[in-house]
Chain A
């Protein structure tokens, strides 16, 4: 894998100068490669990972697994595309195993999420069944510890 991508997935806020040092290339080259990744849609975006429990935002997050009965003109792709367009939906995956599509949804309250399932998801014709589980606590997100502290157990100094 390109180390530039691995650095950016570790910390997207490294400056071009810092990336250039770490990779032993010029800042111009860093800028050009990032621009290319963005243009080709390899890099889709940059977002902060927030521990919402530490803010005043009301936030609940649920994971919903759905079983789909594909119909003519309404296969997995189409159904995923419809679901992806709801703004409450954070991620959508085609799955192997017992469900067909899994998604994560967020809202201000449990009720918001319940309403989303009742009003938006269940009525979709191809959706055979849904199974909703609420997230109670987030320990780790996108490789970053959230509710856990990652402690450095080493001595402060050793020779």
Chain B
């Protein structure tokens, strides 16, 4: 008998299995689940982009691309960042990755040595922590709070910095909280970072999804920050292209070159069909981005209005496509809340604790769904909350 525990690396064994595995399995087994649990658009990829992918296949463009991605695509990425994000990069400072996910992985691996500290504002997306641990980093969570609109404050950052701090993960607009950072907030963060040697991974995968008049501002556009930041972005959320697995990273050439080096050995290159389709996305789909954004905006506002009505406090998301209401008033933990809601009303939402310890007491609800779907789900949640209230009442009486 093989002793697999002795085969598997220590770092891998130390990564705790995602706590919500069991919950996912439960949800997957049930037949009539009304899901509010996804982290991806319901829209189909705009037709022009799909067509460009098809055309590339018809022409037989089915080979490897250059390691860092097609030049044509890198050029379009730079134009796009200039046009929409006020970021100025050259194709030499750009690499095309397999989703934003790979960009995150490559940057962390490129700069972390064992013992380095990685600062991670939480609640946040789930990949930074385990990837950092794989490289032997020490993870230092920084809690963001409802009272601060889930922004990272300069004070909280300052308090977490030690001389071992190497990398700050900068996950805004934020999954799961919907928090964003505005220019003034960024300037305060930049002020803290300028005298340090800390590098920034700015995960801007939701950059196109900010609401109201609050346009996304990249931390790399703040004076003094470009030289210490790699921006991670991708096509998944912006163009509803999750299954195409395509993203990119831009940053200082000495860093990007080393990321490309690892990428070349680990992945070779991002999928060719996806890259060729993405050229079309960047060239002709600005209007589609806006149409989808307006639709999310409306759904988000609708959902916040409804959640408040049925008695769940929530922060109105300023970016991404999630709301993150507090469920503390129910007296349940976020795991219990989600499991009971799933079993009793067949509605799936994600426990906040999946996004870091401080997400406890919240749940993440996605609004990548039609209003009709949201309406049905809200009706079920309302019934569930009513039942919880009655239970509490009965418990109090007996």
* Residues of chain A having any CB pair with chain B under 8 Å: 3, 7, 10-11, 14, 17-18, 20-24, 152, 154-159
When the two chains form the complex, which single residue of B33, B125, B175, B305 contacts A21, counting CB atoms closer than 8 Å? B305
Could you tell me if A158 and B38 are in contact, using CB atoms closer than 8 angstroms? yes
Q: How many residues of B contact A (CB 8 A)?
A: 34
When the two chains form the complex, which single residue of A7, A154, A155, A159 contacts B354, counting CB atoms closer than 8 Å? A159
Q: Type the 1/0 row for B320-362, where 1 means its CB is closer than 8 Å to any CB of A.
A: 0000000000000000000000000000101000110000000
Q: Which residues of A contact B306 (CB under 8 A)?
A: 18, 21
**CB proximity of B105 to chain A, nearest CB, Å:** 16
Could you tell me if A20 and B348 are in contact, using CB atoms closer than 8 angstroms? no
Q: Which residues of B contact A157 (CB under 8 A)?
A: 20, 23-24, 27, 35, 37-38, 348, 350
* Residues of chain B having any CB pair with chain A under 8 Å: 18, 20, 23-24, 27-28, 33, 35, 37-40, 42, 125-126, 175, 294, 298-299, 301-306, 309, 348, 350, 354-355, 370-372, 375
- Beyond the given pairs A157-B23, A157-B24, A159-B20, 12 more chain A to chain B contacts, judged by CB atoms under 8 angstroms and listed by A's residue number, are A3-B298, A7-B298, A18-B371, A20-B305, A21-B306, A22-B305, A152-B35, A156-B35, A156-B37, A157-B350, A159-B126, A159-B354
For the complex of A and B, 6 pairs with smallest distance between CB atoms: A21-B305, A157-B37, A22-B302, A156-B27, A156-B35, A22-B298
Nearest residue in B to A155 (C-beta to C-beta)? Answer: B38
A18 to B175, CA, bound (A): 25
Contact A21-B350, Cβ < 8 Å, known A157-B24, A157-B38, A159-B39? no
Contact A156-B24, Cβ < 8 Å, known A3-B294, A22-B371? yes
When the two chains form the complex, which single residue of B40, B303, B370, B375 contacts A158, counting CB atoms closer than 8 Å? B40
A3 to B294, CA, bound (A): 9
**CB proximity of A158 to chain B, nearest CB, Å:** 5
